[in-house]
Amino acid sequence: MASTLADYCRQRELSDAVLLSTTLVLLSLSTALVGLSLIIMGKLRLASAVTYIPMAAVSGYLAFIGLFAFNAGTFLSVCWLEERAGVVFSSLPFFFVFTSA
Task: Divide the 101 residues of the chain into consecutive groups of 10 and give the mean pLDDT of each group.
Answer: 77 84 86 90 84 86 87 75 68 53 46
pTM for the structure as a whole: 0.48
Residues 14 and 31 in one domain: yes
Whether residues 57 and 43 fall in one domain:
no
pLDDT of res. 97? 52
Structural domain total, the chain: 2
**Model pLDDT, residue 91:** 59
Same domain for 43 and 16: yes
Assess whether 43 and 57 both reside in one domain: no
Do 1 and 26 reside in the same domain of the chain?
yes
Q: In which domain, by residue range, is 6 found? A: 1-51
Same structural domain, 11 and 39: yes
* Distance separating alpha carbons of residues 68 and 27, to the nearest angstrom: 18
